[in-house]
C-alpha cells in the first residue's frame, strides 16, 4: 500500500472519533509538553546563573601571589609579594587575553566635605573597567595619561559614593585620600552581588605605588579572556609565562590562578544533572501517554475485528493491516507530539518571563521530543497492529 493511502485512512479514521482522538493524544501532549517545558526551565535557570557569574567580570581570570614560608610555617595565600607590574605587562601580550588589570590595594581614610570613612583604595590601569565588567554612572574612568603622569584622580564605587554623600554633581570636586587631595573624575554604577565590589576607590596604579605603597609588587592581576572557550588556554599560557619569568622549574608555583571556568564547570554539571532529572520525570508522563495509545489501539482492533476481516477478504495482506494500524498510532503520537511542543514552548515562555531569564528555546529538544513521540507510537502501536494483522479472516468475518 502507498503511504498516501495509509495516511488518508488514518486521518479519516481519527477524524470520525474526534473526542476519543483528542483524549488519546492528551497523554502524549502532556508528556511532550512537560519534557519541552522542563528542559527549557532547567536551561533557563542555568542561563540565569551564568549570567550572574558573567556579572562578576567577563571571562575573568585572576592571578594572585602564592604564600610565604617561614621555616615550617606556611603563610596565607597572597602573603607573598612575588607578582610585579612587569609580570602584569608581560601577560598583556598573550593571545587570548582581552584586557589586563594589575591591582595594588591599600586602605586609607577618605574625607569628602564633612563625611569620612576608611575605604579600600585600588590602584589599577584602564583595563580594570572591562576586566571586572563595571559601567560608568557619571564622569569618566582613569585613562593612560593619568597612569603615565601619576595623576591624583579617583573614581569611586557606588556604595562609597553613598557613604560619602557624593553625587553626580560632585564629579570634578576634590576629596582627600590619606591626607592628599584627589580630583573625583567619576562614579561607578553599582554591580550588586556579594562582596564589596561597590565599596572602593579606584586610582591610577602609578599614583598608589608612588604615594601609598612604595613597592614593586602587585596585590593581584585581573585578566579577561577573549571568550569563555579561551579561559583554559589563557590559564596555561599564564602559568608558562610566569614560571619562565620566575625561573620556576620544580613545578611548585609561587602564584595562583583562579578563573570562572571552575565555577562555570560546577554550575553546568549541576544543571546537566538537573536537566536529566527533569527530563526523566517528564518522560514518565510520555510513557504513560504511550500506554494510553496502546490501550486505545487494542480496543480499536477489537472493535474493528469485522472491518479487518472484510479488508482481508477483499485482498489486504497482513502487512497492509499492520501498516494501517501502525500509521494510525503514529499519527496519534506525532500529532500529539507537535501539539505538545507548542504547549511546551508557550509554557516555557511563560515560566521564563515570570522567572526573569527570558525565553530559552533549544531546537534540539524539539528534535528529541518528536523522535520520542515517534518512538512511543512505534513501540506502543506495533503490538496492537500485529494483533490486527494476525487475525484469521474467517474468524474476523464472523465476529459480531
- Residues engaged in binding another protein (CB under 8 A): 1-2, 4-5, 12, 16, 306-307, 309-320, 393-394, 397
Nearer CB in complex with another protein: 4/76: 4
Beta carbon nearer to another protein, 108 or 304 = 304
Q: Which residues contact 334 (CB under 8 A, 6 or more apart)?
A: 370, 373, 374, 377
Helix (H) or strand (E) holding 255: strand 255-259
**Least gap, CB of 381 to another protein (angstroms):** 21
Q: How far is the CB of 307 from another protein (least distance, A)?
A: 6
360, 42 contact by CB (below 8 A): no
Least distance to another protein from the beta carbon of 267, Å?
A: 57
Q: Which is nearer to another protein, 156 or 391 (CB)?
A: 391
Q: Which residues lie closer than 8 Å to 400 by C-beta, 6 or more apart? A: 306
Give the shortest CB-308-to-another protein separation in angstroms. Answer: 11
- Residue 364: CB minimum distance to another protein, A: 38
Minimum Å gap between C-beta 395 and another protein is 10
Nearest residue (CB) to another protein, 94 versus 397:
397
Nine-digit cell string for 145: 595619561
Which residue, 5 or 148, has its beta carbon nearer to another protein?
5
15-18 CB contacts, 8 Å cutoff, 24+ apart: none
Residue with Cβ nearer another protein (350 or 394): 394
Q: What is the DSSP string of 257-309?
A: EEEHHHHHHHHHHHHHHHHHHHHHHHHHHHHHHHHHHHHHHHHHHHHTHHHHH
Question: Cell digits for 363?
Answer: 531546537
Shortest Å distance, C-beta 315 to another protein: 3
Cβ neighbours, 10 Å, residue 145: 11
CB 147 within 8 A of CB 126: yes
21 vs 235, beta carbon nearer another protein: 21
Nearest to 377 by CA among 37, 4, 8, 10: 10
Is there a contact between 159 and 196 (Cβ–Cβ < 8 Å)?
yes
Amino acid at each position: 500500500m502507498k503511504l498516501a493511502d495509509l495516511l488518508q485512512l488514518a486521518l479519516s479514521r481519527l477524524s470520525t472519533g474526534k473526542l476519543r482522538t483528542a483524549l488519546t493524544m492528551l497523554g502524549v501532549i502532556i508528556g511532550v509538553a512537560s519534557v519541552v517545558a522542563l528542559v527549557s526551565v532547567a536551561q533557563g535557570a542555568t542561563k540565569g546563573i551564568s549570567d550572574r557569574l558573567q556579572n562578576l567580570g567577563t571571562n575573568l581570570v585572576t592571578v594572585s601571589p602564592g604564600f610565604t614560608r617561614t621555616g615550617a610555617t606556611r603563610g596565607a595565600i597572597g602573603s607573598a609579594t612575588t607578582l610585579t607590574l612587569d609580570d602584569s605587562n608581560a601577560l598583556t601580550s598573550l593571545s587570548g587575553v582581552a584586557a589586563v588589570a594589575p591591582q595594588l590595594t591599600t586602605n586609607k581614610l577618605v574625607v569628602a566635605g564633612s563625611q569620612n570613612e576608611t575605604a579600600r583604595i585600588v590602584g589599577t590601569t584602564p583595563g580594570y573597567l572591562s576586566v571586572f565588567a563595571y559601567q560608568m554612572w557619571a564622569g569618566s574612568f582613569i585613562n593612560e595619561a593619568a597612569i603615565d603622569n601619576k595623576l591624583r584622580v579617583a573614581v569611586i564605587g557606588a556604595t562609597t559614593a553613598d557613604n560619602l554623600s557624593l553625587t553626580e554633581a560632585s564629579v570634578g570636586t576634590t576629596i582627600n585620600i590619606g591626607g592628599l587631595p584627589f580630583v573625583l573624575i567619576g562614579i561607578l554604577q553599582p554591580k550588586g552581588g556579594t562582596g564589596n565590589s561597590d565599596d572602593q576607590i579606584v586610582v591610577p596604579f602609578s599614583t598608589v605605588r608612588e604615594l601609598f605603597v612604595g613597592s614593586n609588587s602587585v596585590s593581584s592581576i585581573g585578566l579577561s579572556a577573549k571568550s569563555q572557550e579561551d579561559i583554559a588556554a589563557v590559564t596555561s599560557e599564564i602559568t608558562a609565562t610566569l614560571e619562565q619569568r620566575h625561573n620556576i622549574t620544580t613545578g611548585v608555583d609561587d602564584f595562583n590562578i583562579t578563573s570562572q571556568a571552575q565555577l562555570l564547570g560546577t554550575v553546568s554539571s549541576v544543571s546537566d544533572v538537573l536537566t536529566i532529572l527533569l527530563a526523566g520525570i517528564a518522560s514518565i508522563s510520555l510513557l504513560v501517554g504511550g500506554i494510553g495509545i496502546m490501550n486505545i489501539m487494542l480496543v480499536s482492533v477489537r472493535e474493528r475485528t469485522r472491518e479487518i476481516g472484510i479488508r482481508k477478504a477483499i485482498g489486504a495482506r497482513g502487512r497492509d493491516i499492520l501498516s494501517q494500524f501502525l500509521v494510525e498510532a503514529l499519527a496519534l503520537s506525532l500529532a500529539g507530539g507537535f501539539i505538545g511542543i507548542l504547549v511546551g514552548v508557550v509554557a516555557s515562555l511563560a515560566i521564563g518571563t515570570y522567572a526573569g531569564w527570558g525565553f530559552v528555546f533549544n531546537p534540539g529538544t524539539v528534535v528529541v521530543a518528536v523522535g520520542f513521540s515517534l518512538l512511543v507510537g512505534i513501540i506502543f502501536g506495533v503490538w496492537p497492529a500485529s494483533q490486527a494483522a494476525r487475525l484469521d479472516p474467517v474468524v474476523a468475518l464472523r465476529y459480531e
